[in-house]
Amino acid sequence: MPTLFEKIAAREIPADIVYEDDLCLCFHDINPQAPIHLLIVPKKPIVRIAEAKPEDKETLGHLILTAQLIAKQEGFEQNGFRTVINNGQDGGEEVPHLHLHILAGRKMTWPPG
């Protein structure tokens, strides 16, 4: 069964998509935790970091370089941003299709909650 994010990639569920290429897409999180909260999602439904395979290396690296590109495109490269990948129950993962959160537009706190 396709994941929620596969359905977004297939345009079966609407989302505010800001970027797409062969390997991934980027859209606004429906429940933003910062003034800017985007998700970068690989088109391949890798479940989570713990289940990624050596052959996913290019895709995983691509997510980070896409975060760099999105930061430039959306204009928050200079002020900075935070990237997060939640993994499993204690990591706060809700959607079992790996995704990189980008949070920006305010000063982040540390440690995270």
List of residues contacting ligand AMP (CB under 6 A): 4, 13, 15, 29-31, 39, 86, 92-95
Distance of closest approach, residue 39 Cβ to ligand AMP, in angstroms: 6
3-state secondary structure of 77: coil
Q: Catalytic: which of 62, 97, 99, 101? A: 99
Q: Distance between CA 56 and CA 49 in Å, rounded?
A: 10
Distance of closest approach, residue 55 Cβ to ligand AMP, in angstroms: 23
Q: Distance between CA 89 and CA 106 in Å, rounded?
A: 27
The answer to whether 37 is a known catalytic residue is no
CA dihedral sign, ordered 59, 88, 38, 69: negative
Distance of closest approach, residue 78 Cβ to ligand AMP, in angstroms: 25
